[in-house]
Each structure stands twice: as C-alpha cells, then as structure tokens.
C-alpha cells in the first residue's frame, strides 16, 4: 500500500490533471479579461465561499480533528474536469467552466499549501503531523500544476494529436478516479463505517448548500442563466481526486490512506447523488 500512496496515486492524479490540460487552449485564459464579472464571481465562490461554508459546517457538525482537516482539504480543491463535464450536461457556459478550472488549478500551488497548513494548526494544533509548506507546494506543483501546464503546451503545439487522444485519455482518467475512490474507502473501511453517520450528512449538506449559494451569488451578480448554471456547478463540485491525494500526502503513514483522505473519498460518491438531480433540473430550464 505504501507504493500505491507514494508513487501510483500521485502518478494517477498527474495523469488526470494532464488530461485536463490537454482539453485547454490559450483562449481559455483570455476569458478572464473578456468576461471579468462572470469569471471573478466564480473565482470568489470557489476560493472563498467554499472553504468558508466548509469551515462553518465542520464546526456545526463537531467533526473530529482529522476528518475536519480532510473536509477543509476537499474545500480547497478546484472543480477539475468533472465540473466541466457536468456544466456541459447542464447546458451551462462550458467555456466559463473551463476557464475557472484552468486558473484555479494553476493557482493551487500558491493557495493550497498555506491553507492546508492553516487547517492543520486550527483543528489539530500540537497533534498535527509535521508539514512543510515548501515540500507540500512542490508536491502540488508536480502532481497538479505541472501536468496541467504540460497538457496545455501539448495541445498548443500539437492540437490535432491532442484532440484525437483526448477522448481516450478522459475515459482512462475517469476509470482512475473511480479506482482511487475505491482504494481510499477500502483502506479506511473501519474508519469509514465508524464515521459515515457524520461524514455522510455533512458532505451532503455541504454539497446542497454550495449548489444553492452558487445559484444565488451568480443571480445576484446579474449573470446570464447559462453562467448561473456554471457558477452553481463550479461552486458545488470539488475535485475529490486531488483531495484524496493531498490527504494521503499530508497524513503519510506506513499502511493505508490516512483519515485526511477519507472525506474526499466519501464525497466522490455523495457528490453524484446530490449533484446529478440538480443538474437534470438545471438542464430542463
């Protein structure tokens, strides 16, 4: 299991992030300037509103320190390719979704390490495992930011090739996502059973609240309904794979995934149960 956590898991996430980068083009970043209101509404929702709501719910539900940190790690993660696919299915603004995913994923190297360290100190104090911000930043860069950048470069330099292999890579990425969730749950099965009564409700409430707030914030900002759909999805859907990987890294242990990774693994299941009905409703409007 040590090999899985230290080598296979990071490589799997890097592959998933590369497949994301392969779907991006330079124009995706230009929308930050062309459509600033929609973009910054989504950016603030993802990077400020999501962690704030997660923090409030963790306090309300009185979650144990390790699981609280795990939920906060999940809240710091970008939407990823999953949010892009869901936005497309909801008939939202896919270009806006991709732009947000691209920028937030690349910005993660600056935001995630500090926020994870802050969460560790807040909920665990002296009991927190040793964590070096620089080392975590390098890890985030190598398994998320760099693969996305390489994917964008390949798409730019060999567009035809990138577009031809993208569907296959996306299918592989989806399969890897499922395998990672199953492995994380299996590794923490005892902890999962002991805490499902707490994790299930808080993650479901978190998902519902964020979807509703995403709609509310975007509507108040005066965005189009297609943009409202996208902001709702980008706010309500986090990248569980990144959460599992970061949880495994910061809670490195001799055997199995750490409890820090468990909320992201459970969320990988509950997210679909809550999000898909909402998406069907948004799609019909």
183 Cα distance to chain centroid:
18
pTM: 0.83
Start-to-end Cα distance in the chain? 46
User: For the segment 22-63, what is each residue's pLDDT rounded down to a tens digit?
Assistant: 877 777 667 667 778 888 999 999 999 999 999 999 999 999
Quick count: other Cβ atoms within 10 Å of Cβ 31? 19
What is the domain-level CATH number for residue 220?
1.20.1530.20
Range of the domain at 130: 2-284
Res 202: pLDDT: 94
Res 168: pLDDT: 85
Res 112: pLDDT: 87
Res 252: pLDDT: 64
DSSP 129: P
- pLDDT tier for residue 106 given thresholds of 50, 70 and 90: confident
| More confident position, 112 or 185 | 112
181's CB contacts (< 8 A; 6+ apart) are: 240, 244, 265, 268, 269
Rounded CA-CA distance 153/148 in Å is 9
Share above pLDDT 70 across residues of the chain, in percent, rounded to a whole number: 92
SS3 per-residue string spanning 204-266? HHHHHHHHHHHHHHHHHCCCCHHHHHHHHHHHHCCCHHHHHHHHHHHCCCCCCCCHHHHHHHH
Rounded CA-CA distance 242/136 in Å is 13
How many structural domains is the chain composed of?
1
Quick count: other Cβ atoms within 10 Å of Cβ 165? 15
User: For the segment 182-241, what is each residue's pLDDT rounded down to a tens digit?
Assistant: 776 776 677 778 778 888 899 999 999 999 999 999 999 999 988 999 899 989 888 888
User: For the segment 126-149, what is each residue's pLDDT rounded down to a tens digit?
Assistant: 887 877 788 888 888 887 788 888
Res 193: pLDDT: 80
Mean pLDDT of 112-132: 86
């Amino acid at each position: 299991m040590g090999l899985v956590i230290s080598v296979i898991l990071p490589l799997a996430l890097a592959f998933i992030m590369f497949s994301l980068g392969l779907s991006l083009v330079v124009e995706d970043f230009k929308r930050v300037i062309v459509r600033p209101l929609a973009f910054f509404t989504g950016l603030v929702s993802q990077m400020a509103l999501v962690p704030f709501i997660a923090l409030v719910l963790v306090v309300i539900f009185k979650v144990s320190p390790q699981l609280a940190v795990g939920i906060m790690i999940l809240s710091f993660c970008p939407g990823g390719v999953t949010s892009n696919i869901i936005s497309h299915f909801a008939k939202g603004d896919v270009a806006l979704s991709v732009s947000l995913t691209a920028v937030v994923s690349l910005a993660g190297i600056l935001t995630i390490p500090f926020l994870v360290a802050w969460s560790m100190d807040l909920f665990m104090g002296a009991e927190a495992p040793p964590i070096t911000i620089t080392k975590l930043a390098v890890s985030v860069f190598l398994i998320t930011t760099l693969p996305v950048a390489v994917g964008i470069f390949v798409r730019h330099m060999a567009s035809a090739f990138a577009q031809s292999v993208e569907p296959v890579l996306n299918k592989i990425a989806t399969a890897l996502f499922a395998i990672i969730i199953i492995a994380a749950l299996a590794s923490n099965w005892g902890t999962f059973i002991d805490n499902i009564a707490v994790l299930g409700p808080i993650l479901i409430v978190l998902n519902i609240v964020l979807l509703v707030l995403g709609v509310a914030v975007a509507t108040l900002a005066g965005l189009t309904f297609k943009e409202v759909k996208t902001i709702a999805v980008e706010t309500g859907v986090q990248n569980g794979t990144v959460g599992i990987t970061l949880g495994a890294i910061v809670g490195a242990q001799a055997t199995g995934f750490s409890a820090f990774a468990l909320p992201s693994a459970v969320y990988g299941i509950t997210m679909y149960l809550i999000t898909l009905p909402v998406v069907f409703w948004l799609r019909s409007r």
